[in-house]
Amino acid sequence: MVKNVTVTVSDKDGQKDIKAEVVLMAVGVQANIENLGLEAIGVKTERGFIAVNEFGNTNIESIYAIGDVAGPPLLAHVASHEGIVAIDRIAGKANHGIDKTNIPSCTYCQPQVASIGLTEEAAIAKGHKVKIGRFPFRPLGKALAIGETEGIVKLIFDERKGELLGAHIIGSEATEMIAELGIAKALEATWEELHNTMHAHPTLSEAVTEAAGQAFDVAIHS
C-alpha cells in the first residue's frame, strides 16, 4: 500500500509539490451532447448544456432534454424528476415544472451535509431582510443516545413574511432530515408553522422546530 503521495500542482504562483497520505480527486462533469446532431436541427445550447425551460422543452418545443445534458445541478434526483415533468407535459397533464430553488443538495460524508434553498448570503443579496435560527445537535436526546452530538441546523427566514428561504444541516442523518424542509419550502411554510409542528421526541428533527423558534426568539431550549 502507498504510504505517501506527492502531488505536483501549478497555480498563479508557479509549481509546487504537496506531500500527503491520501489524494482525493474530484474531476468535473460535463454534458455528453456532441455528435447528437443538435446543431443540424438548431437545438440551442448554453455553456455546454442543452437549454431548456422548467418543463424540459428546448427551443424546439417538441424536443425535450432532461438530466445532466439539460444543465446543473447534475444530480440523479433532478434527472429523474425532470423526466417525470417532461412526460407529464407530453401527456398533457398539469405539472408545476422544475423549481430550481427547491432542489436538495446532499453530501454523503461524515458528518453528512444537506441544504435546500438560499444561503444566508444569497438571501441578503436578493434583498431579503433575514432572520436566522440555529440549533446544535449536542443537547438533543436522540443525538446523545446515538452518540452523534456533532451537528447543527441553520434556517433562514424572510423577516417580514416569516417564510422559510433556506435550510442547511450538518450532522448525522442530515440527508434524511432535509426532506421535511423541502416540503416546508415548497409549501412556503413560515417559521411559526415549522415551530408549531409537533416533532417527536427523541428525534434529531427536534432541532428543526427549535431552530425555527430560535430565529424569532421564542425557542424553549436555546
Ligand X SMILES: Cc1cc2nc3c(=O)[nH]c(=O)nc-3n(C[C@H](O)[C@H](O)[C@H](O)COP(=O)(O)OP(=O)(O)OC[C@H]3O[C@@H](n4cnc5c(N)ncnc54)[C@H](O)[C@@H]3O)c2cc1C
Which residues in this chain contact ligand X in the complex, by CB under 6 A?
Answer: 32, 67-68, 74-77, 79
Burial category of 129 from C-beta neighbours within 10 Å (exposed 0-12, middle 13-18, buried 19 and up): exposed
Minimum Å gap between C-beta 86 and ligand X is 12
Largest pairwise CA distance in the chain? 63
* Rounded least distance, CB 207 to ligand X, Å: 24
Report the first-to-last Cα separation within the chain, whole angstroms. Answer: 48
Cβ closer to ligand X: 159 or 176? 176
For residue 19, what are the β-bridge partners? 6
Q: Determine if the peptide bond prior to 73 is cis (ω within 30°).
A: yes
Instruction: Choose, from 77, 96, 201, 221, the residue flagged as catalytic.
Output: 201
Q: Measuring CA to CA, which residue among 83, 131, 76, 82 is closest to residue 105?
A: 76
Instruction: Output 74 or 219, the one with its CB closest to ligand X.
Output: 74
Nearer to ligand X, 71 or 133 (CB): 71
Nearest approach, Cβ of 32 to ligand X (angstroms)?
Answer: 5
Smallest separation, CB 34 to ligand X (Å): 9
201 given a catalytic annotation: yes
**Residue of closest CB approach to ligand X:** 67
Nearer to ligand X, 106 or 146 (CB): 106
Would you please indicate which residues are annotated as catalytic (active-site) residues? 201
